Amino acid sequence: MWTVPAKDAQIPALGFGTFTLSPDDCQRMVTAALEVGYRHVDTAQVYDNEDAVGAAMAQSPVPREDVWLTTKVWVDKFRDGDLQKSVDDSLKRLQTDYVDLLLLHWPNPDVPLEETLKALASVKRDGRARHIGLSNFTVALMKQAFAVTEEPLAVNQVEYHPYLNQDPVLDMVRAKGMALTAYSPVAQGNILGDETLKRIGDKYGKNEAQVTLRWLIQQDGVIAIPRTKSEEHCKTNLEVFDFDLTEEEMAEIKALHRPDGRQISPEGLAPEWDT
């Protein structure tokens, strides 16, 4: 599996996402993902499955240092002091003394961003997080973050798939030497049955999800973290490194974006999205 550069990090281009997985399903699927070759696992405090991720990794023969592990701080822990304590709690659940990447899960306008980023940077400096970054930040919010911290931000993790244009965020992360991690990369399954993706997939002997994941990771600076409860889908999602989409196919898939393409925009958390 190839890696994607992000500041001074090299992040596996395809990771295993754990959003909405129950603890039992999460432990089972992270175990399966590591067995078939994933070396990147993504979780979050609010998912309530960090314990399961930690148990799966601890029981795996894959060495801890070979797995890129990401977790995210929930918005109620953004105050200086609260954030650091929440990271200690996460590390205990994850059965590790560091995470490779620590993200702010959503923007929180009720806490000064400078205070939150200062706390985040302190966790990086003391080694509890190797790298830090953002999630669900718009271009305007990214600019605010850059203005109040000197610590390099490696990633912005956002919803990204063929039905949602993310050019503004992509342009910004590329300009800053960051990476974009695409969550909900198959639009929560809504790409299944798409005639364009199916036609392109038939050419390569791939399904719509595989074509979509290939489209994402074939873009400069893009990482994808598909989530599944199926061991078979977990395996087939990884089988996207043995074909290349043409420039015309890449453009055709990008043209699938639509105004109502966003799947995730929770009230009370979502910022004013880029257009």
DSSP-assigned states of every residue in 41-65: EE--GGGT-HHHHHHHHHHSSS-GG
CA atoms 253, 254, 258, 261: torsion sign: positive
Is the distance from CB of 135 to CB of 124 less than 8 angstroms? Answer: no
Is the distance from CB of 267 to CB of 27 less than 8 angstroms? Answer: no
Report residue 201 as tokens: 């997939």
Each domain of the chain, given as residue ranges in start order, spans: 11-189+215-233
Phi-psi region of 159 (alpha: psi -120 to 50; beta: other; left: phi over 0): beta
pLDDT for position 1: 78
Is the distance from CB of 29 to CB of 54 less than 8 angstroms? Answer: no
Range 86-100 burial, b when 16+ CB lie within 10 A, else e: bbeebbebbbbebbb
Q: Which of 47, 98, 160, 183 is catalytic?
A: 47
For residue 164, what are the β-bridge partners?
161
Of residues 158, 80, 156, 155, the one with CA closest to residue 123: 80
Range 14-37 burial, b when 16+ CB lie within 10 A, else e: bbbbbbebebeebbbbbbbbbeee
> pTM for the whole thing?
0.98
pLDDT for position 132: 98
**Which homologous superfamily does the CATH classification assign to the domain defined by 11-189+215-233?**
NADP-dependent oxidoreductase domain (3.20.20.100)
4, 160, 178, 262 from 222: Cα distances, Å: 7, 10, 9, 18
95, 108, 141 from 271: Cα distances, Å: 33, 9, 9
Sheet holding 153-159, edge to edge: 16-17, 40-42, 68-73, 99-104, 129-135, 153-159, 179-183, 222-224
Per-residue pLDDT of the chain (275 residues; tens, 9 = 90+): 799 999 999 999 999 999 999 999 999 999 999 999 999 999 999 999 999 999 999 999 999 999 999 999 999 999 999 999 999 999 999 999 999 999 999 999 999 999 999 999 999 999 999 999 999 999 999 999 999 999 999 999 999 999 999 999 999 999 999 999 999 999 999 999 999 999 999 999 999 999 999 999 999 999 999 999 999 999 999 999 999 999 999 999 999 999 999 999 999 999 999 98
Burial zone of 152 (CB within 10 Å; 0-12 exposed, 13-18 middle, 19+ buried): middle
The answer to whether 257 is annotated as binding is no
pLDDT for position 153: 98
Active site residue 47: yes
Report residue 27 as tokens: 């432990």
